[in-house]
Amino acid sequence: MRPLTEEETKAMFEKLSKYIGENIKLLVDRPDGTYCFRLHHDRVYYMSEKILKLATNFSRDKLISVGTCFGKFTKTKKFRLHITALDFLAPYAKFKVWVKPGAEQSFLYGNHVLKSGLGRITENTMQYQGVVVYSMADVPLGFGVAAKTTQECRRVDPLTIVVFHQADVGEFIRNEDTLT
Partner 1 sequence: MAACSVEELLAKAEQEEAEKLKTISVQKELDLDFDVGNLLACDKNRIESKDFKEQNKEDFLRSLARDNTQLLINEIWKVPTERVEEAIVAKLPEPTTRLPREKPPPKPKPPTKWEQFAKLKGIQKKKKTNLVWDETRVAKNEFNRLKNVARSQKIKTPGVGLLPRAKQSKDELSKAVSVAKTSTASVGRFQDRLPKEKPPKNAGKRRKFEPLIGDFSSEKHKQLELLKVMDSKRPKLDITKAVNKQMREEDREEAASRKKGGKGGAARRPKGKGAKGKGGKAGGGKRRGKPGKR
- Interface residues with partner 1 (CB under 8 A) are 1-3, 5-6, 9-10, 13-14, 17-18, 21-22, 24-25, 28-29, 34, 36, 38, 49, 52-53, 56, 94, 124, 126, 128-129
Spatial separation of the C-alpha atoms in residues 108 and 75, rounded to whole Å: 27
How near is the Cβ of 68 to partner 1 at its closest, in Å?
17
How near is the Cβ of 28 to partner 1 at its closest, in Å?
5
How near is the Cβ of 43 to partner 1 at its closest, in Å?
15
Spatial separation of the C-alpha atoms in residues 156 and 111, rounded to whole Å: 19
* Cα torsion angle, 34, 17, 55, 1, sign: negative
Q: Which is nearer to partner 1, 127 or 175 (CB)?
A: 127
How near is the Cβ of 172 to partner 1 at its closest, in Å?
28
Secondary structure, 3-state, 102-169: HHHHHHHCCCCEEHHHEEEECCCCCCCCEEEEEECCCCEEEEEEECCCHHHHHHCCCCCEEEEEEEEC
Q: Which is nearer to partner 1, 2 or 62 (CB)?
A: 2
Q: Which is nearer to partner 1, 113 or 146 (CB)?
A: 146
How near is the Cβ of 120 to partner 1 at its closest, in Å?
19
Q: Which is nearer to partner 1, 3 or 158 (CB)?
A: 3
- Report the length, in residues, of the chain: 180
Q: Which is nearer to partner 1, 1 or 179 (CB)?
A: 1
